[in-house]
Structure 1
Amino acid sequence: MRTRVKICGVTRKQDAVAAARAGADAIGFVFYEPSPRYVTPDAARDLVNALPAFVSATGLFVNPEAQFVESVLSQVPLDLLQFHGDETPEFCDSFGMRWIKAVRVRQSSDIADAFRDYCHASGLLVDAWDPDKYGGTGQAFNWSLIPDSRPLPLILAGGLASDNVSRAVAQVRPWAVDVSGGVERSKGIKDVEKITDFINEVHRVDETD
């Protein structure tokens, strides 16, 4: 199975295009104003329209009002929604679109509970726990907490970079990996060489299986 790659927190058109050309399957755009990687709907529309065919545009939200999500969707041609806060399954399911849910992991039961509660999701993203942040911590977590039984596609995030992603893919065997800070020069500014190295490392593991 080929491991998919999502490059998240993109804020510049050249970074979105470079990530797609390097082989990214999905690009993430953050619609959460406290984040240093936040993009406005106007900016995101231009970024999404620059993407080539077959690269998915994902919109990341954290505890949004439904009206805000609907406003973004009316302006930006997103393919997938990503909910990274404390949203209920009913809320996530209310927009008539495919969605994934992020869970911050402290113990294995966090993942098992999320698989059960968010069973209508298109995937479950597992990330490092931080009491003050809903993501983008740059920290990995104990991958051995991830169960082998996975009723949904599992997306691995948290502290990934080119120097550890091959080990992560080999150990966890996720459906996809999600990276933001690990391929940046500064927050929101991606590094093309780091993106390319990261994707190459993922593909290297796939090719040796």
Structure 2
Amino acid sequence: MSTKVKICGITNEEDATWAVNLGAHYLGLNFYKDSPRKVSPDLAARIAKKVPSFVPTIGVFVDQGPAEIVKIAKKVGLGGIQLHGEQTPDDCRAIAGELEVLLIKAFRVAEEKDLDPLAAYKDVVGYFLLDTRVEGLAGGTGQTFPWDLAVRARAFGKPVFLAGGLTPENVAQAIETAQPFAVDVASGVEKSPKRKDYEKMKKFIEEVKYA
């Protein structure tokens, strides 16, 4: 099965349309208050309406509670939820009980012991996402981690999204090493945190396709 592509940090309708037309499988909309790529629920809803149903929009949440997440997801019409931070397995169950969407739990990793928490979530989410652990940052670090950790993460029985410092220049090597279900990119295909770079997105998706 070919590796899927998630373009994260979409902030406008034009970039969403570009990403879909180039072949992205998922689009990420960030609701974290401190993210330079943050979108409001109203803007996210306008973007989501432009996206065909076969490309799920994934809401990125950092430490928001289940009630807030469910409220935003229903308003926007999200196709998936990506949880960064301290959400518990019970929080995940609460969200899954309210929404029929893809549920992704993100973990920040730098070494093998960082995979230990995955075990508690393997029965309550559908996917894991691995991002680079950088103190003080919840994601969007622009830095890579040892990709072989993603291979070990697959032992928990869930498809793995690989994130953290991916670019058109390194994504083929990342796929060869980690064999992930999907790759997730934000800063690696940007002109700025609010604008994607069309040529970088095109190159990234081409590199994934032929990896």
Encode CA deviations 1:96-120: one digit per residue, 9 max, x unaligned.
3331000000221322431x11112
Question: Identity percentage over the alignment?
Answer: 40
Runs (4+) of structure 1 exceeding 4 A deviation are none
User: Offset at 1:52?
Assistant: 1.7
- Tell me if structure 1 keeps the 8 A contact 2:142–2:187: yes
- Tell me if structure 1 keeps the 8 A contact 2:59–2:73: no
- Tell me if structure 1 keeps the 8 A contact 2:167–2:204: yes
- Tell me if structure 1 keeps the 8 A contact 2:26–2:56: yes
Provide the residue aligned with 1:93 in structure 2. 93
Query: Could you list the runs of 5+ residues in structure 2 that have no partner in the other structure?
Result: none
User: Offset at 1:150?
Assistant: 4.2
CA RMSD of aligned residues (A): 1.2
Given candidates 106, 109, 132, the residue that maps to 2:136 is 132
Separation in 2, partners of 1:25, 1:112: 29
Q: How does 1:44-123 map to 2 (within 5 A)?
A: 44-95=44-95, 96=97, 97=99, 98-114=102-118, 116-119=119-122, 120-123=124-127
Secondary structure of 1:91 counterpart: helix
Query: Could you list the runs of 5+ residues in structure 1 that have no partner in the other structure?
Result: none
Encode CA deviations 1:74-132: one digit per residue, 9 max, x unaligned.
31100110001111111022123331000000221322431x11112111000100110
Provide the residue aligned with 2:198 in structure 1. 192
User: Offset at 1:70?
Assistant: 2.7
Provide the residue aligned with 1:17 in structure 2. 17
Residue identity in the other structure for 2:29: F
TM-score by length of 1: 0.94
Aligned residues: 204
Segment drifting more, 19-28 vs 86-95: 86-95
Provide the residue aligned with 1:42 in structure 2. 42
- Tell me if structure 2 keeps the 8 A contact 1:105–1:111: yes
Segment drifting more, 142-151 vs 53-62: 142-151
- Tell me if structure 2 keeps the 8 A contact 1:155–1:174: yes
TM-score by length of 2: 0.93
Separation in 2, partners of 1:106, 1:141: 6
Separation in 2, partners of 1:145, 1:82: 20
User: Offset at 1:71?
Assistant: 2.4
- Tell me if structure 1 keeps the 8 A contact 2:131–2:162: yes
Separation in 1, partners of 2:110, 2:53: 37
User: Offset at 1:68?
Assistant: 1.9
